[in-house]
A and B are shown apart, each in its own frame.
Chain A
Amino acid sequence: MNEFVEQFLIEGRELVAQGNDDLLALEEHPDDRERLDGAFRAFHTLKGAAGIVDFVAMSRALHAAEDVLSAVRSKSAPVTPGLIDLCLACLDQVSAWIDRMRSSGELPADADAAADDLVRRFATLASPDTASLAPRGPGDATTRRPADSTGVSTIERDLLEAQKLMLAEPAPEGAAAARLESASRIAANVLRHHGRSLDAADLEGPLQSSLVTGNAEAMIEAIDRILEGLAEPAPERPGTLSPQAPEATLRVDVDRIDSLVRLTGELLIAKNAIGHSAARAQGEGDPRALAVALKNQHLALDRLIGELQRSVFSLRVLPLQHAFQRFPRLVREMATALGKPARLMIEGATTEADKTIVEAIAEPLLHVLRNGLDHGLEDASERAALGKPATATIHLRAERQGEHVVIEVEDDGRGIDVARVREVARRRNAAPEAAIVAMSDEEAINLIFAPGFSTASRVTDLSGRGVGMDVVRNTIERLGGRVSLSSRRQRGTTVRFTLPFTVIMTQVLTVEAAGQVFGVPLEAVVETVRVGRSAISPVGAARAMVLRDRTLPVIDLGQALGRGARAAEGDANVLIVAVAGQLGGLEVDRLGDRLDVMLKPPEGLLAGIPGIDGTTLLGDGRVLIVLDLGEVFGNADD
């Protein structure tokens, strides 16, 4: 990918976000000149950017949008919901194109049709006479759906497009048949991957026809039909997040880079000092002086690596705006779908948080917003009866508080009915009866985070997704955060996420013993060795081995877990670990991978058990127990 395309992708995304913002604000305040100019400029600059990378179709679509906005600027056209809709749809399309370019590195091959469609719709908008005659076709009804919510991965789409491109190239003598067949195999495999193995057989006809006529057209058409089939829209479901690829590029402050450069310099000095010590050791200098020098150098390295770690973490900081930017639209769509007018007010979107958190937070936040709209808000007539404003307000706030980032979602809806929460919790066995009775109201409200709990009396289109608030809590806890909830009857509900500002990762090495997987903190591991089991000899009740003239105690992890002792044959995998300045050997059945994990203190059943440093949730949902080696070796001495 050349630097122009790279810059185009970065700038494109920012401009789409800016355009979205301005358009939504403009809809609220049609007279806001600044927002109008901002929106116009976003489209204009996007158009210019498309021109630079030769993306003609995109330029064309944006030009049409720009014309319409230009008419609004010169006061010859009003701001209408239809106009905002269409401009937003245009930005959706641009965003989908950008996503595809990022994964394929090429201009999307079929952009012309989508661009034509947009141009036509802008033209219809511009001349209302024909607009009133034009029927609202299915195309209009789908306007607001994000362009990439089709359930098909961009890779699948790119693979199919690539087959079309290849078949369109003239084939060298004698290679046409093989090329057709290979394209057909890929197309069939994409279908199989997509769970549509049966349809794969339908490719046989077009393949034969292309082979016989020596013309790839039939095959290309067949692939086009697959692409259309894959693009069949998913059932209408407002308020779902279209998958967004994690950001591959980060914008970083120059200051932060400078601090890394400085650290690199210091590390270099530390490295040279150690080299000098090594030379001295070779020259058989005074061993005690050497030990002191090495110890000081180790301390210096330790400090530098700590600083380096902090500096690198600070590079990974992003404003929460990245996660928030799609919410105004999504809330608007959901509110429309539910027939409950609501407005989202965002504060503190510039608050920064670790990239991991910014990228993972959108999904749980959306779930909370969706729940609030669906269950928390009264409908308009109920609100009117209560003397509340017809349009509900949802606040989304983010704030840095010391080492934490706090994100709140507050609505002005009906609040949570504690009595009902207790009743449902009882009925669904979310907690023991006695505990439910003993809980204060505040504690009882938090029962909604219990697995499987839902106070929805009816399954609505929006929340009926089989995911409860327990998933929200799990996600937040995996990020090292907490969820809390407060609510006042008829006044509203506040859900609060308290998240760490920096995500400190611990490196662990996984090991297997007695059929279970454990983590060992990597910082304690000095080396891993494989020795004959006969080299590990009993010393009293314990065992020991000799490593480079030193005798080390050896603990068989499997045996420590209660499995019987092993015969003294074969080879043993031994981790040499440093615990409180002492070396020891930990025999395990198998060595696993290195992982970066977020360690949580042990809780629940594990809390009282010695030898456990903490736990972490693995990607597949399993809990990995990380061993406290101090305890493991300490107990062995007893």
Chain B
Amino acid sequence: MAEASSKRILIIDDASLVRRYYRDALERAGFEVDEALNGVEALEKLLGEPADLLIVDVNMPQMDGFTFLRSLRQQAPPIASIPALVISTEAGPHDRRAARSAGANFYLVKPVAQDVLVQHVSIMCGLPA
């Protein structure tokens, strides 16, 4: 049976406070967590070691979340198909659509409570209820 400790989550966000907030929640739930400050760094990290789920911020310097996702989905397997959860400040239908179009598997609007995040990540990683 799958366990949180066998799942690696990569958080991609330029705000250290936000990374820390997600990381705390996920680590407490037992996930293995890594961080990247932007899309470029995330791609570099993934080429080194793939992840089970990506948590992606939209607004980042160098390479924004959507550009990163589009680029990710065009990489070679296995990293191209890593599921991605986008967390954005924008709640509008256009932003949601842009995320889907870039290849995001799910979309949450900030602020995301820690338990809500863990709940979504657990299901997206296929952990037993």
Contacts and interface: CB of A to CB of B under 8 A. Distances in A.
Interface stretch (A184-192, A281-289, A359-367): A184-192
B73 A175 contact: yes
Given A162-B106, A181-B81, A186-B106, 10 more contacts: A105-B91, A155-B120, A159-B105, A159-B120, A177-B80, A178-B80, A178-B81, A179-B73, A182-B84, A192-B127
Interface in B108-129: 109, 119-120, 122-129
Contacts of B125: 189
Interface string A132-161: 000000000000000000000101101100
The interface residues of chain B, by DSSP majority, are classed as mixed
Nearest to A200: B126
Given A178-B103, A182-B103, A193-B126, A172 B70 contact: yes
Contacts of B93: 106
Given A155-B119, A155-B123, A192-B2, A105 B109 contact: yes
B75 to A, nearest CB: 7
A12 B84 CA distance: 32
A2 interface: yes
B107 A162 contact: yes
B20 interface: no
A464 interface: no
Given A1-B109, A172-B74, A179 B126 contact: no
A193 B128 contact: yes
Given A105-B91, A175-B70, A193 B122 contact: yes
Interface residues of B, number: 35
The interface residues of chain A, by DSSP majority, are classed as helix
Nearest to B82: A182
Interface of A: 1-2, 105-106, 153, 155-156, 158-159, 162-163, 165-166, 169-175, 177-183, 185-186, 188-195, 200
B91 to A, nearest CB: 5
A544 B78 CA distance: 60
Interface string B66-90: 0000101111010011111000000
B45 interface: no
Contacts of A166: 100, 103-105
18 contacts: A106-B93, A155-B120, A162-B106, A162-B107, A166-B105, A169-B100, A171-B73, A173-B74, A177-B81, A178-B72, A178-B80, A182-B73, A182-B81, A192-B126, A193-B123, A193-B128, A193-B129, A195-B128
